[in-house]
Structure 1
Amino acid sequence: MATINYLVRLSAPLILALGLAWLVPVQAATSEAPSGLGNATCLSCHDGKKGKIEVPGGDDTRALYTVGHDKYGKSVHGRMQCVDCHREITDAKASHKKAAGVAGPNCVACHQGLWEALQQEGKTQGKERMGLVVKNVEAYKKSFHARPDKDDPSRPKAVCDQCHNTHEFAVPPRGSVERTEWHATVPQVCGETCHEDALDEYSGSAHGKALQEKQDKKVAVCIDCHTAHNIVNTSGEPFKAAVTKNCGGCHEEKFASYKDTYHGQVNTLGYGYTAKCYNCHGSHEILKADDPGSKVHPDNLLRTCKQCHNGKKDLPEATAGFASFGAHATTHDFKHYPQLWIASKFMVALLIGVFAFFWLHSGLWYYREAKDRKAGKAAPHIRTEGLALDEKKHFRRFHWGWRLGHLSFALVTMTLVLTGTAALYAESSWAPVVAGMFGSPHAMGLTHRVAAALFVGIFLIHFVYVMQKLLRDKTFRWFGPDSLIPRWKDLSDCVGMFKWFVGKGPRPQFDRWAYFEKFDYWAVFWGVNIIGWSGLMMAFPHVTASYLPGWVFNVIMLVHGEEAFLAAVFLFTVHFFNNHFRPDKLPPPDVVMFTGTQSLEEFRRDHPAQYQRLVESGELEKHLVDAPSLVMTLGSKILGLTLITIGLGLLVLVAIGFMGH
């Protein structure tokens, strides 16, 4: 309570200046001063022309402020009478007699009272700055400065008039020369009053030299990093999460490149445990990168990295390659980052090529099937005369191992997309929510790596299983109709499909694996290697940096993110369309990958060449099984719809992140 009372008596600073001069007439300036206590009388003693006025203060005496006529008249309080604030003063004699029970200057109560009166009278329009004053007062009360001082707990650490001279201060308009001049005085005010050591460091820094030697009055000063009123403890998470954004207010391009790094992604998500600007560049003592004393000078950079990457906790010690990592590398600067520039152009071409081809493919396919359905055209007829087939039977297309592998892949992939894109698009509105669901970006990253390990593990099990089975099968033909290896027929089928799309030819007769199914299959091999190896290199940076230069991290992080984006968008658009949203598959879902079977009608339509081949060889009946039970079918549909819904939801999140990136 003592702290608040002291604050109430002394807080008149910048926050009071924001608009008080023209609001005071509401209650104060219109009042007349008691007889003999006008401003002229008060200032005749307090203008300093008769010498300093000292009063008892603590164990000694303290000098009162000198109030000049001109400066006070131009200040934000210049239209007020002295006794509007000093209401306890009752006479004009030295050691003024004070009225009993009357409080001294109470700037906070005055401003809050003015704003409340304006609100009650409905006169706040056009006077919003007065509301800002009240907000600043509340922010100060919660700030680090408002805490009790260690040496004198009855006083706060800092009060308003330590930063602003209550009797002389006036807020210069934003953008004015006067505002710039005032801005340049802030380091001296903060440093000379309390923070002498910080001022010494700042004076020797790049910022301080620019201010003092080059007279660059727009350079960063204390309040640009620490703010003016809601100053918080610099060791707390709120400050750590906000300070880098404050730096980015000036260094916009550097800030943008920083946010593309893992350090920046975590910081953007609202957590302060990764490296921020001041961890690498210093805080008050920031020097240019080419200065031998700079923390980011090439000779000092590895030592700077080792401040965090010191071998303790879960951060292995930084190795040689860390020093050449481009913390602010960009994809548009070939001169300084040629490797990243080349990698970005390759990935952009890959994304455009894949999406242009397959989105066109899907669009034309939808158009053709919808047009044929509207015209009443049926799918090509397969002759079944003379065959003793039970049409209620189903064709077994996938064994349980394939189905289990597909489901596992689906769940793991969706987990990877969620946790990976939450970091990739950390600036999006949904990413911090996802990080919070996991507890922190660290826990989210751990989940991502576990899911990645499961993905690779499932892939290897599948690969070993398939290879050992095929190698033992003496009749299997590697380029035969049952093989997933691409062959010339796939190319001709693809060309034939485009001809069919535009009405220039019949629909191709697909065998066991259509060309787009083979693409889906082999894309996993590509993705596991590109995404997997790049992810592994980032998961163990100290090992990678022991053998490779630091720019490799810039490249693999780009490739990892872009390839993951490609995989996610392809899966949830093209793959979903091919298997669930084609007109002849509607309504979704297609449950063949969950039940493992297809009706004969669907099998004949999707894979007519395989069907005909099995009929001619007499092997069709070996693949026929009973239709799945109603429970199995219903469960598969529920599972399929659930996965489709999750996938489309993830697609929306990725789209939001991509558009806002």
Structure 2
Amino acid sequence: MNIISHFKDRGKAVTITYSVVFALIAYLTFTTLNSAVQVSMPEENDDCMVCHDDKDLKGTRKGKNISMYVNPNHILGSVHAEAKCVDCHTDLAGVDLPHEDDLKTATCGKCHNKQQKDFDISFHGVALKKGDPLAPNCQYCHGNHQIVDAQHEKSPVQPLKIPFMCGKCHQEGAPVQMSRNIPQSHILENYSESIHGEGLFKRGLVVTATCVSCHTAHAILPHTDKRSSIARNNIAATCSQCHARIEDVHKKIIDGELWEKEAHSLPACVDCHQPHKVRKSFYDVGMAKKECLNCHQDKNIKASNDGRSLHVDVSKLDHSVHSDLACSKCHIEVRPSKIRSCETITTKVNCGSCHDKVNNNYMQSSHGKLFLTGEKDAPTCVTCHNDHEVLPKINPMSKTFAINIPDLCSECHQDGHQAAVRMEDKVQHLTETYTESIHGQGLKSGRLKVTANCSDCHSAHMEANHENPVSSTHKDNISNTCGKCHWGIQTQFDKSIHSPMVSKSNDELPNCNTCHVAHSVVDPSKDEFRLSMLNTCGKCHEKITHLYFDTYHGKASLLGSGKAAKCQDCHSAHMILPTSHANSTLSRDNIVETCAKCHPAANKGFTRYLTHATHHDPEKYPLLFITFWGMTILLLGTFLVSWLHTLLWLPKSLKMRKEIMALKAAGHSGKRVRRFTPLNRILHVTMILCFLTLAATGMMLKFSYAWWAQFSVKMIGGVEVTGFFHRFAAIVLFGVFFTHIFDLIFNKRKEFGSWKEMLLGPDSLLPNKKDWEDLVGSMKWFFNKGPRPQYGRWTYWEKFDYFAVFWGIFVIGSTGLMLWIPEFFTKFMSGQLINVATIIHSDEALLAAGFIFTIHFFNTHFRPEKFPMDTVIFSGSYDVEEFKFDRPAEYEKLVEEGKLEELFVDEPTPTQKRVHSIFGWAALLTGLLIVFLIIYSIISINF
């Protein structure tokens, strides 16, 4: 036998052996499974779900075909997830599967023994035992397999769903309500309108009373059953589950023995608070309201002791919130046993017997304390709410309706009335200031009943002096009071450095009243309020505020500008945070956005402007310190040298005046020499107007603290209008400057012939050797060391004045442009240079104004030989004799060149002279007035 044959025979044998083994395993498996199906007990839920997981499974229950499908997810999600099916379906214990169709109802009492006992004695349990088809069982309320915790949102007995669960049977029109004798009607409807139902349905308060809170969940019994939770002897305990201290609340009623039939016992809650309605009150005292009205409806009825009317207007009473109350509920001293029940009344009605909390608040209030002193003027409940016609505050006819409250309070607090007289030394004009406030305007003009009225701030019943810690307007409480309406603002304020929750400081922190003054709360968008905030913030931040007034924003604000940035614009109004805080409006990430509110083109460079910097601090702001003192030295140096020159000149000028007077007395030829062209004169007149405008409007801003500046700006039309005139004059002055430059270049060849002659010739406006010689000669002349120099066409002081204009145009003009459009310049330079530009622009303008209105005016007009005015710049010409005396060198040059007669012009007409004189004097006096106001302002602020 070869190897292959051997393995073939062996393979056959193995195959036979495997076949036998597999057959045996299959037989045993089949036998085991068949046995399991026939005799298995339902020990596990999975056994039941083999069949009941089938959605098409049907069965018979009480003769009806029903689905027997059980969703396994319902069981797993229920409170019975760990229980076995047979724990509830007890009749299946020991029964072979599959079981019979018609099973008994699942038994809950096996586990829930107490609940089952309660249910068995209840209305529902008794009816169920009797076979009442409408009687509910456990599954009716709790469900069958998907039973979840009562607080679970899917639970049918969750507190929010209880009224609807019970309402399935007990609402009007339901089978139970229609076919069973239930003494209460419209149960669900009444409950939904009650204070309990409103709390549940409108406010979502799951802690409010529902059906099971009063009737219990399972032991629901009639109120006549002593075991019932709503039995007369048990109702107080039932209500006390939620309403504690019932004895304290009702002690006035008990002490008064209102219900004589229940002497010395607490009356049942439902005697006053009708079941399910809870808002309605009634008394079963054997004394109806109509018995009282038999007498008090008479209009002529009066009190025997003081003659006051005791008439009760029934029509008013019917509209009152107390219309359903018996008279005896308020007049508790009545005795039905008496022939005249009211003869036992000795005290006034105490509203606190029902309104206990309100009464306690009133007694702590200023009104209540005044009442306790026996003050007749003290307001009481009837002062505000009336006696019998008590209307709800939502009724527009009620005194306590929102819009009517200011008028109500004004009855006492209006000027001249009792409360106003009593408080005269503390506060005045309360009602008047409130009416003009933003709250008063909203209430009176806008008829907005949601706006704040007296009771919103002072509370309705516990109004107290703001120094009283219990007062709603006390500094510790005012934020919460205002926050009732201004919740968002309060939230911001609570996070700010002004909040006591953030700044743990012993210093007094600002509160709502600090900025928004009590009764005269102004619209924060109004200029009146915005400007007042500078003083308000300045009370605490004095140093910073002082520096703020050195900035354009501060100066413009002093001049009455409401648009200029104020403290709240940069730091925010309520959520003021340190600049290091990420949410601060001035933080690195937010400052550009903050500045962009006013400056839309603001950029990072712009935000480097120093808002509260001072040039007096060399360590913190060295650049500003150097700039300020540099400009101060330049200003003082220029004035010192110029005034010294003027003082030295003055004696010689007085002597020259005698010579000129003698010259004029000797007569003159009538010939006049042209000194200025018509264009020169037009440009100079325009420059005078522009300079006066710039000086006047600029000095108003510089000395913004001065009364004259504030008055002038107001007369002009405000800061914005004043700024417009200032910038317009600057633009025109730029035009004058460039027109003059163009004229020089255009007339260069005609007048000078060449650039060299124009720039270096004897008639050049540039400084030259002769100017130095004239200066030295003048000094010698002043000190009697030499003759008066032979001045040419342009003197050295005239050239100084001339180039001062160039300097001013460049320095004042360039810095002015930086201040005008800082957003553009800070794109390529630091914002700190805007601070530098401010100092330079301000001080250079002061130098220019002071120099022009003193030195230049003297050199031109006030020299004795020219006094009172030299009008040559207006007329363009002067007498040839005066020309020869003033400028001998130029006169001789023109004579030698034979050009003198070419310059002869006609003499101005009398009208022209008059115009020249009027304009000159107007400009002169305006300039002198500006100088006077500058000196006055400097002296007033420093001395």
Q: 1:632 to 1:291 in 2, by over 3 A?
A: same
The separation in 2 between residues aligned to 1:78 and 1:265, in whole angstroms, is 53
1:55-74 to structure 2, matched below 5 A, reads: 65-68=361-364
Contact 2:674 2:877 in 1 (8 A): yes
Distance 2:849 2:494 in 1: 51
Q: Which amino acid aligns with 1:327?
A: T
Residues 270, 390 of structure 1: alpha-carbon distance in 2 compared, 3 angstrom cutoff? closer
Unaligned ranges ≥5, structure 2? 1-305, 307-345, 391-398, 400-406
Deviation at 1:233, TM superposition (A): 1.4
Q: Identity rate of aligned residues, in percent?
A: 34
**Rounded Cα–Cα distance in structure 2 between residues aligned with 1:430 and 1:42:** 69
Query: 1:247 aligned to 533, 537, 542, which one?
Result: 537
User: Match of 2:416?
Assistant: 113
Q: 2:622 aligns with which of 331, 338, 359?
A: 338
Verify the 8 A CA contact 2:675 2:877 in the aligned structure 1: yes
Measure, in 2, the Cα distance between the counterparts of 1:183 and 1:495.
79
- 8 Å contact kept, 1:509–1:607: yes
Number of equivalenced pairs: 574
Aligned match of 2:606: 322
Q: What is the match of residue 133 of structure 1?
A: 427
Alignment of 1:103-502 (within 5 A): 109=412, 112-113=415-416, 130=424, 133-149=427-443, 153=447, 157-160=451-454, 162-164=456-458, 169-170=464-465, 184-185=475-476, 187-209=478-500, 213-310=503-600, 317-370=601-654, 372=655, 378=659, 391-470=669-748, 473-474=752-753, 476=757, 478-501=759-782
Asked if structure 2 preserves the Cα contact closer than 8 Å seen for 1:115 and 1:130, the reply is no
* Counterpart-to-counterpart distance in 2, 1:183 and 1:189: 10
Distance 1:106 1:42 in 2: 27
Q: 2:860 is matched with which residue?
A: 579
- Normalised to the residue count of structure 2, the TM-score between the two structures is 0.54
Which amino acid in the other structure matches residue 333 of structure 1? Answer: D
> Which residue identity is paired with 1:455?
L
Q: Name which of structure 1's ranges 229-238 and 435-444 shifts more when overlaid on structure 2.
A: 435-444
2:583 partner letter: G
Contact 2:555 2:702 in 1 (8 A): yes
Q: Report matched runs for 1:607-618 at 5 Å.
A: 607-618=887-898
**Residues 190 and 222 in structure 1, CA contact (< 8 A), matched pair in contact too:** no
Amino acid at match of 1:133: V
8 Å CA contact 2:556, 2:564 repeated in 1: yes
Please state how far the C-alpha of 1:524 moved relative to its aligned partner. 0.7
- Equivalent position of 1:16 in the other structure: none
Task: Give 2:274's aligned residue.
Answer: none
Q: Which residue of 2 aligns with 1:4?
A: none
Q: Give the direction of change, closer, same or farther, for the CA distance of 1:42–1:290 in structure 2 (3 Å limit).
A: farther
- Residue matched to 1:516: 797
2:579–2:586 contact (8 Å) kept in structure 1:
yes
Q: Do the aligned partners of 2:571 and 2:586 also contact (CA within 8 Å) in 1?
A: yes
Aligned partner of 1:112: which letter? D
Structure 2: which amino acid aligns with 1:601?
E
**Distance in 2 of aligned mates of 1:462 and 1:470:** 12
State how far apart, in whole Å, the 2-side matches of 1:488 and 1:532 are. 31
Task: Please list the CA deviations of residues 380-400 of structure 1 after superposition, one character each: whole Å capped at 9, or x if unmatched.
Answer: 999xxxxxx972211221121
Aligned partners of 1:428 and 1:656 also within 8 Å: no
Rounded to whole Å, the distance in 2 between the matches of 1:597 and 1:115 is 82
Instruction: Find the aligned partners of 2:544 and 2:513 in 1 and give their Cα distance.
Output: 20
Query: What is residue 356 of structure 2 aligned with on the other side?
Result: 53
1:554 matches 2:835: yes
Quickly say closer, same or farther: Cα 1:456–1:68, change in 2 above 3 A. closer
Q: In the TM superposition, what is the alpha-carbon distance from 1:511 to its structure 2 partner? A: 1.8
Secondary structure of 2:673's aligned partner:
strand
Q: Is the 8 A contact 2:815 2:841 kept in 1?
A: yes
Change in 2 beyond 3 A, CA 1:78/1:568 = farther
Q: Secondary structure at the match of 1:430?
A: helix
Query: Any idea what the Cα deviations from partners look like across 1:401-427, whole Å, max 9, x if unmatched?
Result: 211111111112222223333333333
The 3 A distance-change label for structure 1 pair 349 and 65 is: same
What is the aligned partner in structure 1 of residue 188 from structure 2? none
Q: What CA distance in whole angstroms lies between the structure 1 residues aligned with 2:474 and 2:775?
A: 67
C-alpha contact (below 8 Å) 1:143/1:232 kept by paired residues: yes
CA contact (8 A) 1:149 1:155 kept: yes
More divergent stretch after superposition (200-209 vs 499-508): 499-508
Task: State the Cα deviation string for residues 232-281 of structure 1 (Å, max 9, x = none).
Answer: 11223322233233222322232233333333333333232232222211
Relative to 1, partners in 2 of residues 1:419 and 1:633: Cα closer, same or farther, differing over 3 Å? same
* Separation in structure 2 between the aligned mates of residue 358 and residue 132 of structure 1, nearest angstrom: 60
- Mapped contact 2:457–2:482 kept (Cα < 8 A): no
Check the 8 A contact 1:147/1:157 in 2, yes or no.
no
Structure 1 counterpart of 2:519, which letter?
H
Displacement of 1:571 after TM fit? 1.4
Write the distance in 2 (CA, Å) between the matches of 1:226 and 1:446. Answer: 33
Matched position secondary structure for 2:376: helix
Taking the aligned partners of 1:116 and 1:412, their CA distance within structure 2 comes to: 61
Q: 1:42, 1:291 → 2: CA distance?
A: 63
User: How much does 1:626 deviate?
Assistant: 3.4
Contact 1:183-1:221 within 8 A present in 2 as well = no
TM-score by length of 1: 0.75
2:445 and 2:938 map into 1 onto residues whose CA distance is 53
Q: Which amino acid aligns with 1:139?
A: T
Q: 1:81 to 1:168 in 2, by over 3 A?
A: farther
Offset, 1:354: 1.3
Structure-2 residue corresponding to 1:598: 878
8 Å contact kept, 1:534–1:556: yes
State whether residues 605 and 831 of structure 2, in contact with CA within 8 Å, keep that contact through their aligned partners in structure 1. Answer: yes
SS at match of 1:546: coil
Quote the residue 2:71 is aligned against. Answer: none
Bigger-Rg structure (1/2):
2
Relative to structure 1, is the Cα distance of residues 185 and 65 closer, same or farther in structure 2, using a 3 angstrom cutoff? same
Cα separation, partners in 2 of 1:504 and 1:135, compared to 1, 3 Å: farther
One-letter amino acid of the structure 1 residue matched with residue 819 of structure 2: M
Q: Residue 562 of structure 1: CA displacement?
A: 1.6
SS of the residue corresponding to residue 65 of structure 1 reads: helix
RMSD: 4.2
| Greater RCO, 1 or 2 (C-alpha within 8 Å, sep 6+) | 1
